[in-house]
Structure formats: structure tokens, C-alpha cells
Amino acid sequence: MVTNAVAPDKLGGLERYVRELSRGLVAAGGSATVVTKRTAPEQPDDEIGEDGVRIRRYSPPAKHDPLFAARYPLDIVRGVRAQISLAERDGGARHTVVHGHFPVPMIGPALQRTPYIYTCHAPVYRELLSERRGSYALPRPVQAIAVRGLRTAERHVLRRAHSLVTLSDFVCSEVALLDAAAGRRVTRVPGGMDTEWFRPAAPGEDIATDADPDEVTLFTARRLVERTGVDRLVEAMPSIVARVPRARLFIAGSGPLGASIAARVQELGLSERVHLLGHITDEELRGWYRRADIAVTPTVALEGFGLSTAEALACGTLVVVTPVGANAEVVHGLSPRLVARSAAPAHIADAVVDVVNMPDLDGLRARARPHVEPRWGWPAVVDAHLDLYDRMPRS
């Protein structure tokens, strides 16, 4: 697995996906090595987790380096090449498959014409400015050049892939925009999740959270960046509270918009109705999914699959989503009322209030978990990947 970062080094959707897919492959009798950059100085070069997944790390240039933009791709290509060689040595005589999940670290294999599978989780070049705003030492003119360069690199990685995978029809359409020929040969394999972990609480099982059972609990777990729309959900809360006075929103996650969102909560007088939880553990995340009356995925742009939506459904909780990216695909077949008219705060508020007041809400909730399990559980998703791996050329 060749990627940008992996859980638990970083706890985003892609990072968890790569780790859990690797874990599933190990459980199925294979071996999995994740080649990734180091995200903290204390992380070792070589580590084998309790789940049997091996992680081989290399060091990227420092973000504050004035030559960061120039050094980054070169250092990444060198680091990936060295770690792939070590990973292939680890595998011995076993059939080795290179599976990429992020474009920049796959530049080297693409240039070397190494056969590989590539999963496009989302068009990374479109995320560069919004997701990394303020993170890197890139002056505005250099940022524009970086975006164009990343778009070119991403297209090249797509073209050179032996097999292309997307997690949704939305991302398939994004691949086609980058390269029409690549879009015509995509295989769709839905995003996997641990449905044994994300499940409704058993009788007597503790699901304690800070939520008040007498209130209507809304919950979202998102990175606090522009594209995830958490700021839009906060703007929707005055309208929601006006019509559902017992509504209270809990937000899990962190990111560059954290301070501005906290300030906006205070400005709107919502300090008793909106609570920022920050980073939470997996146990807490599952507890919040279970406790929530409604989860909300208020995406503004680029939802490649919607893992948090699927995890909430697996816990038996309904999710209100915006009609952005793959959101509507994930809830398709449950109820069209789960999809807001747009990502505007007013439309998010209308959808949340509508679902809260649905007359057969419990009946719809009963269909939430069967909607995602077993088809999106890791056993099914791992089997689909093993079929793809079996068709890869032998080295």
C-alpha cells in the first residue's frame, strides 16, 4: 500500500481506509506493508502493528522549508522507491502487488512503469488549497503552480495504472474529467468499514456520552475544513433550534477552521446548543453514533465515499446528507428525505427538521444497518480486492 499517511499517524477517512484494508488482507492470509511518509519525528522507520500490518516510513521535507515545494516531490519519490524495495524484500517469493492510494507517492512507480493498482479516493489536486490552507510555506503564486503540477501528476498516475478503482460513481466521474480514457476503465469497489465494530449497542452495553436522552441529539464527525461543511451546519443551528427546541449538536473533529467555528458558535448564542468535542477515540466515536438521534454529513465539496455516513448507518443511526459528491449514493434506497436540497444552511436545517419529525422514523432507522451490512463490510470489500490482485501481472 503506497499512500500519503496512515492511521493512527493521521485519522482521516483515507488513512483509516488504507489501514483497515491492510488489516483485512492480513486476516485473509496475505501480508500487507504500508509505505507512507512520517508525520511525527518519533515514528519509527519500520513498525509492525498488533494487527499484523507493517508500516515503512520515510521523511518528507519540513513544511517550513522555503524550498518545500521544490523538494517535496523529489524527497517523496526517493523515499517511496527505497521503502517499496524493502517491502518487496520482506515479501520474499510471494506475489507482490503495489496498490496506490495517493498521487504524489505514486509518481515514481508511474514513471518507472511498475504495474500497480490505483484507488482514486478523490481528486487530490482539487483539495490542495482548501485542505492544506495555512499548513505549508507556499506563497500564492507557488500554490497555483503546485495545484497545476499535482493535477498533471494525478492524471499521469491514473493513465499508468494497470487497474483503477473508485469508491463511488461520483469519483468515477471525477476520474473521467481528469482523463476520459481512464474513466472508462474504472472498477467500483465501495468503501469498506468495520461493521463488527460499528454496530448498534447490544442490550445492556454502555453507550454513555454527554448527550441528554431527553434532547434531540445531532452529531457530526468531520475534519474542520471548508469542504466538509461543518461551518454550514453551525449556521443552520439557529433555524433548527427554533423549530426543534430540544436539538443539540455535538461536533467531533479538528482542523484549521476550529477556532473560527468556535467563535461563530459564541456569536450565534449557541454555546448551550452546540458543543465542539475535538478529537475523540474510536470508542467515543461509536458511542456518539449510537446515541445520536440524527447524524449529519454537511459536505460542501469532494465527498469521495462518505465513510462517516456509512459508519453511522451501521450503528443504526440515520444520516442527513447534502447532495454533494457521493453523499446521495450512500443513502440511496433509504429515503430521499435524507438528502438536503443543497449545502446551504437553510436547506440543511429544513432536512434535519423534516427527518426529526418523520412519522415512521423508527421504521426507517430499522433499515439503516441492513442498508450497509454486509455489502460494505470489510470481508466483502477485501474479497473484491483479492480478485483484482489475482489479475495483476506477476513480477
All structural domains of the chain, each given as residue ranges with its CATH number in brackets, are 13-192+377-390 (3.40.50.2000), 216-372 (3.40.50.2000)
Q: What is the mean pLDDT of residues 75-89?
A: 93
Q: Which helix (H) or strand (E) holds 82?
A: helix 68-91
Q: What is the distance, to the nearest Å, from the Cα of residue 374 to the centroid of all Cα atoms in its chain? A: 20
- DSSP code, position 35: E
Q: Which grid coordinates are listed for 324? A: 454533494
pLDDT beyond 90 at 148: no
Q: Which helix (H) or strand (E) holds 370?
A: helix 368-372
Digit-coded pLDDT (tens) for 358-369: 999 999 999 999
Cβ atoms of 368 and 10 closer than 8 Å: no
Which of 254, 378, 248 lies closest to 314, judged by CA?
A: 378
Q: Which helix (H) or strand (E) holds 390?
A: helix 378-390
CA distances 238 to 19, 215, 294, 340, Å, are 39, 16, 17, 17
Mean pLDDT (the chain) is 91
Compute the residue count for the chain.
395
Digit-coded pLDDT (tens) for 164-182: 999 999 999 999 999 999 9
3-state SS assignment for residue 165:
strand
Relative to beta strand 319-321, strand 274-278 is: unpaired
Q: What angle do CA 110, 325, 355 make, to 5 degrees?
A: 155
Q: What is the mean pLDDT of residues 369-389?
A: 95
pLDDT beyond 70 at 219: yes
Cell numbers 434535519 correspond to 352
Contacts of 283 (CB under 8 A, 6+ apart): none
pLDDT beyond 90 at 93: no
Cβ atoms of 116 and 99 closer than 8 Å: yes
